[in-house]
Amino acid sequence: MKKLMSLSIALLVIAQSYAQTADEVVNKYFDAIGGKAKMEAFKTMYTEGEMSIMNNPAPFASSVIDGKASKTEMDFNGQKIINCYTVGAGWTVNPLAGVPDPTPLPASQIGMGPMTYDLKGPFYNYAAKGYKLELEGKEKFNGADVFKLKLTTKDSVEMDSYIDAASYYQLKLVIKTKVSGQPLEIAMVTSDYRKVSNGSTLPFVTEVSYPGLTITSTSKIIEVNKDIDPAIFVMPKK
């Protein structure tokens, strides 16, 4: 009994130390990108740049109001594509997919919306959101030592985050979720971190990989807390 008690206490101490270490990694990540105070001041974000889709350039502009709405407009091969998310809703225009007019998104696709307009990111106040954070150890990514963190949401969405052990920038994020009842894995590799208008440090290059498709996004302009008219998120009438 004493041995079992000693083992149980040891396991509890180990578990607590891992939890503290996970929080420590997250706190250093926040420090690396400018600190929580700057992140808490995020209200809006406007981005302009260019995507590369199957080696084709696609200029884009993105507008986000934190916690409320996001809208991305892209010109691909002369066709204008729009994806817009608001709380509990969304709409799209995509002539290449047979949707030439503004059309509401189906309920199965709205679940990804909150991630697109969460400027503070999933680590911010994760415990208050009901998320679970675990440190799964150290690995190598592109030659760098990284901490692997696993974040699980209340809806069982899993996010594996790879934090550089030297800079504490996030180098990769893998999201495991479901769309229309089918599993979907999205991998995002981020690089070229630079300071933006409010002093925060953000990635200017993001490579997003879906099954069978990789899109590289290079930002040219990132403006924090720019005035954004909420009317742009309203779906136009046909």
Q: Where are the domains of the chain?
A: 2-233
What CATH superfamily is the domain 2-233? Lipoprotein localisation LolA/LolB/LppX (2.50.20.10)
Query: Which of 162, 182, 200, 215 has its CA nearest to residue 40?
Result: 200
Q: What pLDDT is attached to residue 12?
A: 38
Dist. CA 8–CA 30, nearest whole Å: 33
166 burial level (CB within 10 Å; 0-12, 13-18, 19+): exposed
Q: Rounded to whole angstroms, how far apart are CA atoms 190 and 206? A: 5
Asked whether 224 and 200 are in contact (CB, 8 A), the reply is yes
Gap between the Cα atoms of 126 and 38, Å rounded: 17
Closest by CA to 161, choosing from 177, 178, 183, 176, is 176
Contact at 8 Å (CB) between 139 and 162?
yes
Which pLDDT score is estimated for 93? Answer: 96
Per-residue model confidence (pLDDT) at position 41: 92
Note the pTM of the prediction, 2 decimals: 0.86
- Predicted confidence pLDDT, tens digits, the chain (238 residues): 444 444 344 433 334 434 448 999 999 999 999 999 999 999 999 999 999 988 899 999 999 999 999 999 999 989 999 999 999 999 999 998 999 999 999 888 888 888 899 999 999 999 998 999 999 999 999 999 999 999 999 888 899 999 999 999 999 999 998 777 788 899 999 999 999 989 999 999 999 998 888 999 999 999 999 999 999 999 998 7
- Running DSSP on this structure, what letter comes out for residue 235? P
CA nearest neighbour of 25 among 154, 187, 139: 139
Q: What whole-number distance in Å separates Cα of residue 173 and Cα of residue 178?
A: 16
pLDDT score, position 13: 39
